Amino acid sequence: GGSIPSDYEIAQSVTTKHITDVVEPYGLEADDLQLLGEETAKVELEAIERLREEGDPAGKTILVTGMTPTPLGEGKTVTTVGLGQALNQLGEDALVAIREPSLGPVFGVKGGAAGGGYSQVLPMEDINLHFTGDLHALTSAHNLIATILDNHIKQGNELDIAVNWINWPRAIDMNDRVLRETVVGLGGDVTGIPREDGFILTAASELMAVLCLADGLEDLKERIARIIVAYDEDGDPVTVDDLGATDAAAILLKDALKPNVVQTIEGTPAFVHGGPFANIAHGTNSLIADEVAAHLSEYLVTEAGFGSDLGAEKFMNIVSRFGDVEPDAVALVASVRALKYHGQDMWPPDVDALEEEDVDAVYDGLENLEKHVRNLQQFGVPVVVAVNRFPQDTDAEVEAVVEHCEDELGVPAAESTVFAEGGEGGIELAEHLVEAADAESEFEPLYDLEASIEEKIETVATEIYGADGVEFHSDARDDIDRLTELGFDDVPICLSKTFHSLSDDASEKGVPEDWTLEVNEIYPSAGAGFLVVLTADVLTLPGLPAEPAAESMELHSDGSISGLF
Ligand SMILES: Nc1ncnc2c1ncn2[C@@H]1O[C@H](COP(=O)(O)OP(=O)(O)O)[C@@H](O)[C@H]1O
Ligand SMILES: O=COP(=O)(O)O
Ligand SMILES: [Mg+2]
């Protein structure tokens, strides 16, 4: 058919329903909501308490993950929204939960994260910009803690904080690479003590992880209190509570904790809350949103960022342990362009060059898809492959993938056209997932919490990434000893790794072999309750590309926008 209008044009063409009318059929009343306009609301924490008292969440969880993507992403968020719509078209009771976008990618490479085409959440321009202010609140709370810390040092440093052993940088919600490494405190004694500092993206702040794992205000405060921001001259941890900053930070986050609810183009309620990336953080939306959705529906469709080696691994080894949520089925999103990207062993990526038909390259790229299928099966969950069809894809390319999955990999697969057709384009996929989710699931995380820190890291590196082993740099060895002493050897691990490859080398496509994972540093996210493991050259503050999306945007005199996608 003709070309599809832009995401923004499609979004503007839809007459949305009042948000109270969208959620009422699922059991949320008007006074359960804090209305933020007619199309957006936050769910009051009292309503969540009421849902908890009504009994256990009935919903089955369908986790949407992907193969190793091109830098543009292969359609997990589009598929999550489309699948939620398709399930409702099948008469199933289904809700969607996705993360809220960061302004970094919106003005950078990937653009927004509100889905696309006829599988978007609305109002896409609000959601992709300031939305309900959660990211701004997190940035302010993060920087309040940083300010109080430096002020404590200036005002006499009673806690004897080691100035060169501070683990709490500043945060910004913008891909501003020049702020990665900074020096603060210049300007003489009136300003403070000069020291190295830096910024991380708000999505990578421990407060983001805390917001995504907290189950209420008390838990939020307890988690914030436990955050380790520095060590003193004796090497003992200094926490947010030691600084007396717990309640001030919690005050800034008390509204951000409430999950946001909006609607998809077809009127399915969608929770859009929390926004950790899956390379530099744990990569899934808030547990509190998943919990509300699972109470209100039979199926919750939720996404995990980047490939299954990142978001899905963390959902299953970290998030499922903290919350009452585990995957009953997994939708693994594949795209012809990503398969060709691996098949042609392309690096650096030139996604436009992947539009030409090349069935052979599709076949050559299937090894990456197969590795993700086998990874997910290790967790005991049924996998369905969703071939997310792009306009340029040919029948031959799409059929090659579907047939390979069914004939060679032994997993159900379906072409998905939810971008071009909305829920209608995901009916076959939804039917496969209902069948998979309704079967008994033998879900199991991949490692025991009692395993040593090294063993946990080696398990993920060898079983999921395909490494031969792990090389711990000397600092990382010291970190392991100290963290074991501090009693952090029985918590999950959250690996920060490039999303461009299954390995820790972005240029390696397909299924890299004969390589060892490099671990540089391990530090505790004591508030979140897991260890962060930094590998190779992962960046916690991304930069802008040569042609940022920002430079193609336009604000028209009537207030409408173009170039936001
Ligand atoms: N089938 C499709 N056809 C055209 N564009 C698509 C399709 N699926 C996704 N996109 C676009 O590709 C980009 C990545 O999609 P997204 O769902 O955000 O991927 P992910 O969540 O995996 O990063 C978005 O701009 C989205 O609108
Ligand atoms: O954390 C990354 O998420 P996407 O893969 O959805 O961009
Ligand atoms: Mg996404």
What is the C-alpha to C-alpha distance for residues 240 and 384, in angstroms, rounded to an integer?
43
| Residue-level pLDDT at 2 | 61
User: Quick one: pLDDT band at residue 142, thresholds 50, 70, 90?
Assistant: very high
- Please state whether 396 falls in left (phi above 0), alpha (psi between -120 and 50) or beta: alpha
Give the residue, by CA position, lying nearest to ligand 2 atom 3.
Answer: 305
| Residue-level pLDDT at 323 | 87
Q: What are phi and psi of 170, to 5 degrees?
A: -90, 170
CA of 107 to the centre of ligand 3 (A): 15
Cβ < 6 A, ligand 1 pocket: 7, 66, 69, 72-78, 111, 113, 115-116, 388-390, 419, 565
| Residue-level pLDDT at 324 | 77
Mean pLDDT for the stretch of residues 99-115: 93
Kindly give, in sequence order, each residue whose CB lies less than 8 Å from that of residue 376, ignoring residues fewer than 6 positions away: 65, 308, 312, 330, 332, 383
**Does 305 sit in the ligand 2 pocket, CB within 6 Å?**
yes
Choose which residue among 65, 212, 277, 539 to substitute to test ligand 2 binding: the one with the highest number of ligand atoms within 8 A of its C-beta: 277
Is 414 strand, coil or helix?
strand
Question: pLDDT tens across 222-238, in order?
Answer: 999 999 999 999 999 99
Distances (CA, A) of 249 to 142, 143, 145, 255, 288: 8, 9, 7, 12, 19
pLDDT surpasses 80 at 537: no
Mean pLDDT for the stretch of residues 92-111: 95
Question: pLDDT tens across 110-133, in order?
Answer: 888 999 999 999 999 999 999 999
Residue with tokens 């005002």: 155
Structure tokens at 72: 């543009």
Q: In the chain, pLDDT over 90 holds for what percent of residues?
A: 93
Which atom of ligand 2 is the closest one to the Cα of 105? 7
More confident: 431 or 8: 431
Residue with tokens 């794992």: 213
Whole-model pTM?
Answer: 0.97
Mean pLDDT lowest among 249-253, 278-282, 322-326, 391-395: 322-326
Q: Counting every residue, how long is the chain? A: 565
Beta-strand relationship, 161-166 and 170-172: unpaired
Q: What are phi and psi of 166, to 5 degrees?
A: -100, 125
CA of 153 to the centre of ligand 3 (A): 40
Mean pLDDT for the stretch of residues 294-320: 97
CA 445 to chain centre: 19
Question: pLDDT tens across 21-67, in order?
Answer: 999 999 999 999 999 999 999 999 999 999 999 887 778 999 999 99
| Residue-level pLDDT at 328 | 97
User: Quick one: pLDDT band at residue 1, thresholds 50, 70, 90?
Assistant: very low
Mean pLDDT for the stretch of residues 374-385: 98
Residue with tokens 């003709």: 2
User: Quick one: pLDDT band at residue 449, thresholds 50, 70, 90?
Assistant: very high
> Could you say which DSSP state residue 318 is in?
I
Distances (CA, A) of 561 to 126, 278, 564, 565: 11, 29, 7, 10
| Residue-level pLDDT at 116 | 96
How many CB atoms neighbour CB 165 within 10 A? 12
Question: pLDDT tens across 207-266, in order?
Answer: 999 999 999 999 999 999 999 999 999 999 999 999 999 999 999 999 999 999 999 999
pLDDT surpasses 50 at 148: yes
CA of 116 to the centre of ligand 1 (A): 6
User: Quick one: pLDDT band at residue 192, thresholds 50, 70, 90?
Assistant: confident
User: Quick one: pLDDT band at residue 441, thresholds 50, 70, 90?
Assistant: confident
What is the C-alpha to C-alpha distance for residues 298 and 73, in angstroms, rounded to an integer?
28
The pLDDT mean for the chain works out to 96
Give the CA-trace dihedral at 484, 490, 492, 495, to 10 degrees. 20
Choose which residue among 63, 76, 102, 127 to substitute to test ligand 2 binding: the one with the highest number of ligand atoms within 8 A of its C-beta: 76
Q: At what angle do helices 76-89 and 427-438 cross, to 10 degrees?
A: 80
* Residues with C-beta atoms within 5 A of ion ligand 3: 77, 113
Would you say the ipTM is above 0.90? Answer: yes
What is the C-alpha to C-alpha distance for residues 78 and 97, in angstroms, rounded to an integer?
12
| Residue-level pLDDT at 55 | 83
What is the C-alpha to C-alpha distance for residues 58 and 504, in angstroms, rounded to an integer?
39
pLDDT surpasses 90 at 196: yes
| Residue-level pLDDT at 57 | 79
Mean pLDDT for the stretch of residues 71-89: 97
Residue with tokens 């990999």: 409
What is the C-alpha to C-alpha distance for residues 527 and 225, in angstroms, rounded to an integer?
7
Structure tokens at 383: 């996998």
Whole-angstrom Cα Rg for the chain: 23
Which stretches within 165-281 are classed as H helix? 206-213, 217-226, 240-243, 246-253
Q: Is the dihedral of CA 213, 214, 220, 223 positive or negative?
A: negative
Q: In the chain, pLDDT over 70 holds for what percent of residues?
A: 100
**Does 115 sit in the ligand 2 pocket, CB within 6 Å?**
no
> Could you say which DSSP state residue 298 is in?
S
> Could you say which DSSP state residue 179 is in?
G
Residue with tokens 């020096």: 183
**Does 426 sit in the ligand 2 pocket, CB within 6 Å?**
no
Mean pLDDT for the stretch of residues 409-416: 98
Rounded to the nearest 5 percent, the helix, strand and coil shares of the chain are 40, 20, 40
Q: For the chain, give the longest Cα–Cα distance.
A: 71
